A and B are shown apart, each in its own frame.
Chain A
Amino acid sequence: MELRIENLSKQYRNGAKALQDVSLTIPLGMFGLLGPNGAGKSTLMRTLATLQEPDGGSAVLGQIDILKQKDEVRKILGYLPQEFGLFPKVTAESLLTHFGALKGIGNPKERRELVHALLQQTNLWEHRNKPLGSFSGGMKQRFGIAQALLGKPRLMIVDEPTAGLDPEERSRFHNLLSAIGANIIIILSTHIVSDVSDLCSRMAIIHQGRVVAAGEPMTLVRELDGLVWRKSIEPAELAAFRAGHQVISTRLFGGRTIVHVFSPQRPDGAFEPVTPDLEDLYFATIKGATSPRSVEVN
């Protein structure tokens, strides 16, 4: 089973083009959708989660037309929205049970066992009788995952799940996601590169509503071999430096600025070669440093 997205586009009433001709094919496994804030990730996610109508294009999951057969999609969908609230006075267990009922698990015994297992799996077992209003950000996020996992979904959409989590919570979250198994499609949208590099076998970079790169992270990164160079400069030189080079990223280290530039050749002797990583790819792509290459992925 795979998810085929073809020519999806969406323009908001204020004129913002959230999606422009987005086409992607997403196979089983964890798929990372990387892009800066406002790139259109959430629009794409909501469209796939049946919450929003695109202006045009199609999205087909196996035999199911996502845009038309919404009820069918929902039966196999697990969705964790980017921002959500929970009834503050209700306990974790009772809300999860309630969601279980909404997901169609009508047998109370079966539902109870499932809820208990998911609470344990998401490490919320201890807190199952606490009102959701008292949950921390990480707990809330794990609760979100627990509800998304209800009813054995075959398509999981998790939108910016690690935003606002501390490193420990984030790592626990990664473990959880990777444990869910490779037998379903998980689409993970994020603007944090390491989320993708840690977890995803496939990925796409989306920028200004367009897919600008897609494929296996390693393959994509490998294409940058020999094209990324590093130099350490004084922060004050940066402006002048930018004028002469295609800078893909800068970061401060020990008071000096480490600059990564994109260049077919070593610009000069002061530059040293860099083994490119996903972050270089990401920044190079969204800064337009790489010429938009064919992003045919499969």
Chain B
Amino acid sequence: MLGTIAGFELRQRFRRISTYVYFVVMLVLGFLFVLLSGGAFSSATMDFGTGGRVLTNSPYALFAIIVYVSTFALVITAALAGQSTYQDIDSNSTPFFYTAPITKFDYLAGRFIGSLAVQVVIFFAIGLGAWMGTHSPWVDPARIGPEHLFSYIGPYLYFVLPNLLITGAVFFAVSALTRTMLPVYISAVVFLIGYLVANLLAGDVTNSVTASLIDPFGANAIDYAERYWTPFQRNTQMVPFTNLVVMNRIAWLAVGIVVFLFTYSRFKMAHVVTSGKREQQQIPVEEAASQAQMAIVPVAHPAFSFRSSLALLFSLAWLQFSEVLKSIFFGVIAIAGYSLALIVCFNLTNPFTTPVYPVTYRMIELGGGAFGIFALAIITLYAGELVWRERDAGVNQIVDAMPTQRWVFFSSKLAALMLVQVVLELIVMAAGLTTQISLGYHHLELGLYFRELFVNRLLIYWVLCVFTLAVHAMVNNKYLGHFVVVLYYLAVFVLPGMGWENLLYRFGQLPSFQYSDMNGYGPFVSSLLWVHLYWGMAAIMLAVLTNLFWVRGTDIGWKQRRSLAWQRLSSPSGLAFSISLLLFIAVGGWIYYNTHVLNNYVTANQLAAQRAEYEKNYRKYSQVPQPKITDEILQVDLFPEERRMNLAGTLWLENKTSQNVDQIALTIWPQELQPIRRAKIEVDRLDFSTGQAPVLATPIVKDDRLGFYVFRLPAALPPHGRMALEFALKYAFRGFANNNEQIDLVRNGTFVNDLFTPVVGYQPSIDLEDQGVRHKYGLPPMKQIPKLEDVAARQELYDLPYADWINSETTLSTSLDQTAIAPGYLQNEWVQNGRRYFHYKMDSPMMPGVSINSARYQVLRDRWNNVSLEIYYDPQHTYDLERMRQSMKATLDYCTENFSPFQFHQLRIIEFPRYQTFAESFPNTIPFSESMGFITRVNPKSIDLPFFVTAHEIAHQWWGHQVMTANTEGATLPVESLAEYTALMVMKHQLLPAAIKTFLRRELDRYLFGRSQERTEERPLMRVTFNQAYIHYSKGAMVMYALQDYIGEDKVNQALAAYVKDFQFKGPPYPTALDLIDHLRKVTPPEFQYLYEDLFENITLYENRAKSATYTRLADGRYQVNLAVELKKFRADGRGEEHQIPAHDWVDIGVTDADDHYLYLQKHKIDGESADIQVIVDKEPHEAGIDPLNKLIDRKPDNNLVKVTKK
């Protein structure tokens, strides 16, 4: 009987077109995602975080694709599992099934199994599509590896099938018990919440275990298991079945089974009276057959004016709005959304996971972002409910025959849905305000809440309301309607990644924008306004169309609907449609003019193509000898209100080669290349002179588009010869761009760097880096950065091939109310023609590079010895100034005591808007992002970010500005890793060791995760390349910390001081990482020399753990701890392939007491894989283990300690 019922379900599903639609959609999505990750489209933007080196058909990538698509397909599971019993209720056929001689179990289990079977078939289409994708001719063969059947099946075993069971059981239960479908969709949303909360928690490594368990889909458990996998492992190893994965799967399967059993016990195969009150209400007994009372029916006066229609519209809208609000499911979603928004808001941190102040824009971003999915869920679900409200209740024929205007019905539903959005925005606002108030933050910017939530967000949600209603009205099938809407969400999500970036066709999407406390909506205002207007017009057109096609009556064939719509077309709707169409076209034209004419519309792919073109055309000039810049004299006129800048100046060039130079090449960072976004550059002047007389050079290349120029000199410049380049450029950012709006030149908070000035020669930094992309454009593999051992490369500066130490002088002008700052010392300041002028000059040669900041600043001034300290900040951001001031002093103290004197007599920190998140050290000048340090909520438990970053950047005044490194591998080790080391040391002397441990734990995670995402080749620290931040920052910090732990901080500093002394302010040949390591080796005792091989020269990884620990109490009252530890040491190559090597290492052995204080912490020499260690301590031991502070790079850092038990 069970089989019969399951078979019935199966057969009737396969008779429905929707089953095939779902199947085909899954197939196409699987296929499409494989093509996306397989490089079939112009850029492989969809690599699921797998990095470019993970193969498309690797177990990892297939897992990601199948998981991704199947999560999206939750809506299908909801429809199928929910309907498997609901269909009987919907079609009023319950009496037939309930009275049939079948048991409850047969009925429920049969239906469940039948629908599960259909789902399995549908979901297998993903894998099938993926398989077809990998065998299609469009996939780059380089991205395909050996095929394993299990790569396709594994995701189903661990993920898809268990999840179908789990989610299916819940959906099935909810619909069987409530006998309605809406709660099914609500529970789909609740599943998503669980998944999202898990994702959120997983963002912090310390929560990973919790995140792995609470994720109902298990994806986070698997992600966590694979988190540190290198591309090699991802390509070759199957999805891991770790304990956490097993526990997650078992726990959630148990939930599914319990839910099914509960359903089984509660379900009644009986007719249920669908009344407002619970259960059987007595059907009223009629009074004796009385004559119908012939009451006198008063005469009514129906009125059908526009005004009465309007009044009806309001009352209908209000009625339906309050129905939505009162529905229990709205309550569930709203409360869930509010809670999630609150969690996210409270959890607010900066990108470095330190807490920040709950400034309003962050509240809106976080709360609104978290709530976003709930808002979409509510729009989608209730659009369906509202459109089907009368038909679901069966009153549609009555209501449709009433003399109410059609537009009143439609508009009332639209208005109700729009009102619901207002409530949703209020909820977001409530979450933000709750957070702010409970954190004691009282700068509540209600105006900003209003502008962002009730204008910017609300308007676009309203457009979505129209869209979803239109879809439901047009499709005229509730489930298909939901599906179409979800497809739309998916489309707008993936299109930009596929090169479809144009705002003009990404319906309902706003240009990306960022609010900044310093600069408000700044450069994004006009694009937001116009795009809102554009979609607003589109929404009006759509609304008019929907109204015309609104289903009224019983005709639902397309032909009749079309002819009815034509019939219904009246002059008002025709007029409204035409006017909005005209405006839509006009506004669209204006947007096009701004994004394509005033600005350059360049997709990511076109940008790559232009970079390739630059390289192909001009690479040859990298071989032509070029002079270097020795002096940079700039006159910069900033017009912040107009977002334009006139940049003129003189560059003094010197032929430092031994050959004559007869051609000079210039790169003016071209308008369509990074990092200048979409600027139009006017080149007014590019003249050469001897300083007294002009030199008439002949232009032989003049490429304004790619920004490359070559001049032939009338007479060659001999070695040591000097000449001047006089230039004048104009930058003006007019209108608005399609995306990547220009954010350097803004109203308040301009930050322009030297990329705006002309530079000499071909710029290798423009070259495309990604191997796959280079291959696509027919470029040879990237030229390797010169080897450490390459002596010739020492003549050139790392990243600055066109200069050595330079003299710098800058004259700035800006608006009257702003302060403009550049490196150097202020010589003079004056006002002229209503503008403020500043003249800066550096008194000694400095590292090339200029930063220009201009904004309305307040200044905090202090002194350290003879150095004046200044912090230029936005008046709203006073929170962290004290931390920065202390850090400035502490770092200057530390560096001058340990390394060398400070070379400047002034040091400035300058705030710039949060459009970019970093701080950067220029000579005596440190631009510092408003989101990087100015709003950090420093507390004793978290890393003191403003303090740390300030220390790091000030350390660069030594590492980078006193000693510059050569253009070889490892160039960033003596710069970034030393800055990290210095900051860590400054912090160590200020903070508790616990904070250091937290810090190192995060750095360990960043390093291990970073190497798993490596796109080319992981290099040893000594040979790190400039874009491997996870190595020179994270691994560098760990390695340097470990080193000072082994050989002593004073020894390390002694070596660093000697290194500074040898290379300070020296021109070529520049030092390399080898010079640094040589100095360090000199101060290292013989037994620790092996560390250089492990830490700097190779990639070394550990898997250490404490196996067991017991203690016995000794006669003298002390405790003897017997500890068994394991030490596994591995070497990895650049791809991530590893082999174990024998260990002969000095490692920390530690014993703690119950308060986490160390009773014992000493280094032991351990030879071999395991060791038994005896330690005697004074107090009762609590935990003991190996490398408890995680100084070594240990992939499983959490099992290093075990509880000590009494023997």
Chain B nearest Cβ from A258, distance in angstroms: 31
Residues in B with CB closer than 8 Å to A114 are: 297-298, 300
Beta-carbon contacts under 8 Å, B819-858 to A = none
Q: How far is the CA of A38 from the CA of B402 in the complex (A)?
A: 26
A75 adjacent to chain B (CB < 8 Å)? yes
Chain B nearest Cβ from A164, distance in angstroms: 14
Q: Are A13 and B557 in contact (CB under 8 A)?
A: yes
Beta-carbon contacts under 8 Å, B383-434 to A = 393-395, 397-405
Chain A nearest Cβ from B838, distance in angstroms: 71
B172-206 Cβ-contact flags toward A at 8 Å (1 or 0) = 00000000000000000000000000000000000
Residues in A with CB closer than 8 Å to B319 are: 98
Q: Are A144 and B275 in contact (CB under 8 A)?
A: no
Q: Are A84 and B300 in contact (CB under 8 A)?
A: no
Chain A nearest Cβ from B1066, distance in angstroms: 85
Beta-carbon contacts under 8 Å, B295-353 to A = 295-304, 308, 311-312, 315-316, 319
Instruction: Known A81-B397, A88-B275; judge A117-B295 contact (CB<8 A).
Output: yes
Q: What residue in chain A is nearest B282 (Cβ atoms)?
A: A134
Residues in A with CB closer than 8 Å to B398 are: 79-81, 84, 99, 144, 147
Q: Are B555 and A131 in contact (CB under 8 A)?
A: no
Instruction: Known A105-B302, A106-B308; judge A51-B397 contact (CB<8 A).
Output: yes
Beta-carbon contacts under 8 Å, B273-308 to A = 273-277, 281, 283-284, 286-287, 289-304, 308
Q: How far is the CA of A111 from the CA of B311 in the complex (A)?
A: 15
Instruction: Known A50-B553, A85-B394, A121-B295; judge A77-B300 contact (CB<8 A).
Output: no
B99 adjacent to chain A (CB < 8 Å)? no
Beta-carbon contacts under 8 Å, B590-605 to A = none
Residues in B with CB closer than 8 Å to A98 are: 319
Residues in A with CB closer than 8 Å to B377 are: none
Q: Are B403 and A122 in contact (CB under 8 A)?
A: no
Chain B nearest Cβ from A283, distance in angstroms: 30
Q: Are B557 and A151 in contact (CB under 8 A)?
A: no
Most buried by A among B290, B295, B302: B302
A272 adjacent to chain B (CB < 8 Å)? no
Q: What residue in chain B is nearest A166 (Cβ atoms)?
A: B286
Contact of A151 among B300, B315, B405, B564 (CB under 8 A): B300
Contact of A131 among B275, B289, B394, B402 (CB under 8 A): B275
Q: Are B302 and A85 in contact (CB under 8 A)?
A: no
Chain A nearest Cβ from B723, distance in angstroms: 86
Chain B nearest Cβ from A219, distance in angstroms: 30
Q: Are A51 and B554 in contact (CB under 8 A)?
A: yes
Residues in B with CB closer than 8 Å to A144 are: 398
Residues in A with CB closer than 8 Å to B403 are: 71, 74-75, 77, 102-104, 151
Q: Are A133 and B274 in contact (CB under 8 A)?
A: yes
Q: How many chain A residues touch B (Cβ–Cβ < 8 Å)?
A: 65
Q: Are A74 and B275 in contact (CB under 8 A)?
A: no
Residues in A with CB closer than 8 Å to B311 are: 106
The stretch that binds B, out of A21-29, A168-176, A233-241, is A168-176
Contact of A74 among B273, B276, B401 (CB under 8 A): B401
Q: Are A52 and B554 in contact (CB under 8 A)?
A: yes
Instruction: Known A51-B400, A83-B394; judge A134-B557 contact (CB<8 A).
Output: no
Residues in A with CB closer than 8 Å to B283 are: 134, 136
B560 adjacent to chain A (CB < 8 Å)? yes
Q: Are B394 and A176 in contact (CB under 8 A)?
A: no
Chain B nearest Cβ from A22, distance in angstroms: 18
Most buried by B among A80, A102, A172, A179: A102
Residues in B with CB closer than 8 Å to A89 are: 275-276
Residues in A with CB closer than 8 Å to B136 are: none
Q: Are B402 and A152 in contact (CB under 8 A)?
A: no
Q: How far is the CA of A88 from the CA of B89 in the complex (A)?
A: 15
Instruction: Known A106-B308, A120-B295, A179-B292; judge A46-B553 contact (CB<8 A).
Output: yes
Chain B nearest Cβ from A110, distance in angstroms: 6
Q: How far is the CA of A127 from the CA of B276 in the complex (A)?
A: 14
A278 adjacent to chain B (CB < 8 Å)? no
Residues in B with CB closer than 8 Å to A113 are: 298
Secondary structure call for the B interface: loop
Q: How far is the CA of A122 from the CA of B554 in the complex (A)?
A: 28
B622 adjacent to chain A (CB < 8 Å)? no
Contact of A51 among B287, B297, B298, B401 (CB under 8 A): B401
Contact of B395 among A87, A100, A138, A168 (CB under 8 A): A87
Contact of B397 among A53, A71, A84 (CB under 8 A): A84
Q: What residue in chain B is nearest A119 (Cβ atoms)?
A: B295
Q: How far is the CA of A169 from the CA of B290 in the complex (A)?
A: 10
Beta-carbon contacts under 8 Å, B244-297 to A = 273-277, 281, 283-284, 286-287, 289-297
B563 adjacent to chain A (CB < 8 Å)? yes
Q: Are A86 and B298 in contact (CB under 8 A)?
A: no
Contact of A127 among B284, B298, B303 (CB under 8 A): B284
Q: Are B296 and A134 in contact (CB under 8 A)?
A: no
A38-60 Cβ-contact flags toward B at 8 Å (1 or 0) = 00000000100111110000000
Residues in A with CB closer than 8 Å to B405 are: 71
Residues in B with CB closer than 8 Å to A172 are: 289, 291-292
A150 adjacent to chain B (CB < 8 Å)? yes
A214-227 Cβ-contact flags toward B at 8 Å (1 or 0) = 00000000000000
Q: Are A152 and B299 in contact (CB under 8 A)?
A: yes
Residues in A with CB closer than 8 Å to B552 are: 51
Q: How far is the CA of A36 from the CA of B997 in the complex (A)?
A: 87
A247 adjacent to chain B (CB < 8 Å)? no
Q: How far is the CA of A88 from the CA of B394 in the complex (A)?
A: 10
Contact of B275 among A103, A122, A134 (CB under 8 A): A134
Binding site for A on B (CB under 8 A): 273-277, 281, 283-284, 286-287, 289-304, 308, 311-312, 315-316, 319, 393-395, 397-405, 552-555, 557, 560, 563-564, 567
Given A74-B401, A106-B303, A126-B284, 20 further pairs, Cβ under 8 A:
A46-B397, A52-B555, A53-B555, A81-B398, A85-B394, A101-B312, A101-B316, A104-B303, A104-B312, A110-B298, A110-B301, A121-B292, A121-B294, A123-B290, A123-B293, A127-B284, A131-B277, A169-B286, A171-B289, A175-B291
Question: Can you show 24 pairs from A to B with CB atoms below 8 A apart?
Answer: A51-B397, A51-B554, A80-B398, A83-B394, A85-B394, A98-B319, A99-B402, A101-B312, A102-B399, A102-B402, A104-B304, A104-B312, A106-B311, A110-B300, A114-B298, A121-B293, A131-B277, A133-B274, A134-B275, A136-B284, A149-B297, A152-B302, A172-B291, A179-B292
Q: For the complex of A and B, list the 7 residue pairs with the smallest distance between their C-beta atoms, beginning with the closest.
A: A85-B394, A51-B553, A104-B302, A133-B275, A89-B276, A131-B276, A74-B403
